[in-house]
A and B are shown apart, each in its own frame.
Chain A
Amino acid sequence: MFNNLAENFYMIEQYIPLILAILVALLFSLFLLKASSLFGPQKPNVEKLTTYESGMEPIRTARERFSVKFYIIAMLFIIFDIEVVFLYPWAVNLKILEDKLGFFIIAEMFVFILILLVGYIYLLKKGALKWD
C-alpha cells in the first residue's frame, strides 16, 4: 500500500512552494521578534511594567479563582445554544423536508426538544440554576 504513496508523490511535489512560503514566513516573523528585543532600546520603569488597563490604575491581579457557578451556567448555556443551532436549519428547510419525509421530520425535532426538556427539568429541580 505504501508503493502508492510513492506513486502519488508528484502530488506532494506541488505543495513544496507552499511549504517553503510557510517556512519563510515563520522564520522571518521569528527573526523580527528576536531582533526587536535584541537591538531595540530597553528602558523599563514601574509605570511601563504595570498592566495596561486603558489608563485606569489596576486594583489587583486579574488571575484569581472564579466561582464554579460561572462555569456551570456557561456549560448549560452551550447545551441549549446548540439546541437553537439545530432548530434553525430545521425550521428553514421544513417545507422541503416535509414534502419528502412527511410528519416524521416534525416528530423528530419534537423528540429532540423533549430529550433536552427532560434535562432542563432535571437541572431545574437539582437547583443548578440557583445562584446562592
Chain B
Amino acid sequence: MEIKSLLNILPILIISLSILILILIEAFHKKSEIFIYWITILTLIFTTFLSLITIQDQSLNFHDTIESGGITNLFYSLLLIISSLAVISSKNYLNRMQYHHGEYYILVMSAILGMMLMASSRDLMLTFLALELMSLSFYVLAGYHRKVLFNNEASVKYFLLGAFASGFLLYGIALVYGAAQSTNIIYITREFDSLLNKPLFTLGLILLLIGFSFKVASVPFHMWVPDVYEGSPTVVTALMSTSGKIAAFSALIISLYGSTASQINYETVSKIIALLATASMLLGSIVALTQTSLKRMLAYSSIAHAGYMMIGVAAANKIGMAGIIFYLAVYGFMNIGAFILISMLETSMEKRLTLDDLSGIYKTYPWFSAVMALFMFALSGIPPFGGFFGKYYVFISAVKADMTWLAVIGVISSVIAAYFYLRVVIYMYFRREGENQNLYATAAENFIITVCVLFVIQLGITPGVFLNIITRFLP
C-alpha cells in the first residue's frame, strides 16, 4: 500500500530528492551555481511533464493525507511552470547583481516543495508544515543579499509578521481539531454543517481564515506586502507574488470547497470573506493610485487581485472555484511578466525603479514598452487578454451566488485600477524621454516574456479550453 502511495506522489519525491542532491553538489563543488541552475530547470520541467501525464489517476495516499492527480496535479503544473519562469530569469539578474550562489536555487526548490505540498495536502497539520516550509524559504530569499539594506528590511518585516500569522493559523488548527476531533480536511468539510453549530469550530475557522488571508495578502492582513515586495530582489518578488499566492489560494480553496456543498451555514463564513474581498479590492486599487515606485504599485495591485479572487471564495460555487484557478493562472503569467520586465531595467538591488524611469522609454526600446503595455492592459482586465476573463468568471460566480453587490464593487475597483495601470503606458509613450536606461535583455529573458505573452493572449482568446480542463477536475 505504501509503495503505491509513494509512486503516486512521485512529483513531490523528485523535488525533495533533487533538493538533497543540489545541497550535496553545492557542498562539494565550488562555483557550481551554473550547474545547479541547469539541474533545477531540468527537474522543474521534468516534474511538470510528470504531473501532467499522471493528471488522470486521482487517489488519496497515506491515510487520506496527500491527494494526487486531478486538481492537485493541475496546481502542481501551474506552480512548476510559473516558478520555472522565475528561476530561468534569476541567473542573469543575480549575475548582474554579482551575488549568484547555488543556495538561491536550493531555497527556491524548497519553497516550491512547500507550495506543492500545500496544494496536495488534505490534512491541516501537513498544510501547516508545508506553509511553513514555503514561508521560511521565502523569508530567507527576501533577504537574499545580506549586504543590501532593503533586502534585510524586507526579510525582517516578512519574518516577524509571517511568524505572527503562522501563530494564528496554528491556533485555528488547534481549535478546529478541538471541535472536530480530526485534522483531516476531507472529514471536516463533510461534517462542516454540523460543526458550524459549535462556537469553537467557528472561532477556529476564523483564525484559519486570518492565517490564509495573510499569505494571500488580503486586507486587513496586507501590511507586509508593499515593503516586502519592494525590498526583495525582483526575481524573488516575481516568485513570491505569483507562486506563493497560487499555493495559498489552493490551500484556502481546498479547505473550503467541500464545505460549500452545505450552503445553509456557509453564508456567515461567506459574508466575512466577502468583506475581506471588498476591503482588498478597494484599498489595493485606491492606494496604488498614489504610488510612484513600480514594484510598490504592483504590490498594491497584487492586494487588489487577491480581493478579486476572494470573491470566488465568497461565492463558493463551482464557477467561482474554477474562476479562481483560472484567475490564478492568468495572474501568475501577467505578474511574472511585469516583474521580470522591471528586473531587466535594474542595475543594482538598491535602485528602486519609479515611473519617471520609464518615461519616453518607447523610443529606445519599442518592444519592451509594447510588452509592458500588454501586461498592464492584461492586469487592468482589458480584453482580449486573459485578465478580462479571470475577472469575468469571478464576477459571474458572485452574481450566481446572489451577491451582485460584490461584483459591482469589483467592477468599480477595476475601473479605479485602470488609472494606475494605464498611467504606466502613458509614461512610456507620451512623456518626454528621461535619462538613458539600460535594458539587460538576454535570450533567457526574451524566452520568458514570450511564454508569458503567449499564455496571457491564449487565455484571453480561448479561455474555454483551460476552463474546461479545470471544471473537469473539480469534484
Point out residues on A near B: beta carbons under 8 Å: 1-2, 4-5, 8, 101, 104, 114-115, 118-119, 121-122, 124-126
Contact = CB atoms under 8 A, between A and B. Distances in A.
Given A118-B20, A122-B27, A126-B27, 11 more contacts: A4-B198, A4-B199, A8-B199, A101-B2, A115-B20, A118-B24, A119-B23, A121-B24, A122-B26, A124-B27, A125-B27
Contacts of B268: 1
A122 B2 contact: no
Contacts of A5: 199
Interface string B9-26: 000000000001001101
A76 to B, nearest CB: 15
A20 B11 CA distance: 56
A126 B103 CA distance: 12
Contacts, number: 32
Given A104-B2, A125-B28, A1 B199 contact: yes
B236 to A, nearest CB: 22
Nearest to A114: B20
Interface in B257-316: 265, 268
Contacts of B202: 1, 4
B196 interface: yes
Nearest to A7: B199
B199 A118 contact: no
Contacts of A121: 23-24, 27
A92 to B, nearest CB: 22
A1 B196 contact: yes
A1 B265 contact: yes
Contacts of B199: 1-2, 4-5, 8
* Dominant SS among interface residues on chain B: helix
Contacts of B23: 118-119, 121-122
Nearest to B16: A115
Contacts of A1: 196-197, 199, 202, 265, 268
Interface string B23-50: 1101110000000000000000000000
A1 B199 CA distance: 7
A82 to B, nearest CB: 14
B442 to A, nearest CB: 30
A5 to B, nearest CB: 5
* Dominant SS among interface residues on chain A: helix
B194 to A, nearest CB: 12
Contacts of B198: 4
A128 to B, nearest CB: 11
A24 to B, nearest CB: 28
A48 to B, nearest CB: 39
B274 to A, nearest CB: 15
19 contacts: A1-B196, A1-B197, A1-B199, A1-B268, A2-B199, A4-B197, A4-B198, A4-B202, A5-B199, A114-B20, A118-B20, A118-B23, A121-B23, A121-B24, A122-B23, A122-B24, A122-B26, A124-B27, A125-B28
B215 to A, nearest CB: 24
Nearest to A108: B2
A123 B20 CA distance: 13
A4 B20 CA distance: 50
B349 to A, nearest CB: 23
Contacts of A2: 199
Contacts of A125: 27-28
Contacts of A124: 27
7 interchain residue pairs of minimum CB distance: A125-B27, A122-B27, A1-B202, A5-B199, A118-B20, A4-B199, A122-B23
Nearest to B30: A125
Counting chain B CB atoms within 10 Å of each CB, the highest count among A1, A2, A4, A126 belongs to A1
A119 B198 CA distance: 45
Contacts of B24: 118, 121-122
B178 to A, nearest CB: 14
A108 B83 CA distance: 29
A132 B26 CA distance: 22
A19 B26 CA distance: 56
Nearest to A125: B27
Contacts of A122: 23-24, 26-27
A121 B23 CA distance: 9
A114 B17 CA distance: 11
A37 B24 CA distance: 61
A124 B23 CA distance: 12
Interface in B373-412: none
A30 to B, nearest CB: 28
A124 B20 CA distance: 15
A6 B26 CA distance: 59
Contacts of A126: 27
A126 B28 CA distance: 9
Contacts of B28: 125
Contacts of A115: 20
Nearest to B265: A1
A1 B200 CA distance: 10
Contacts of B196: 1
Contacts of A118: 20, 23-24
Counting chain B CB atoms within 10 Å of each CB, the highest count among A119, A121, A122 belongs to A122
B396 to A, nearest CB: 28
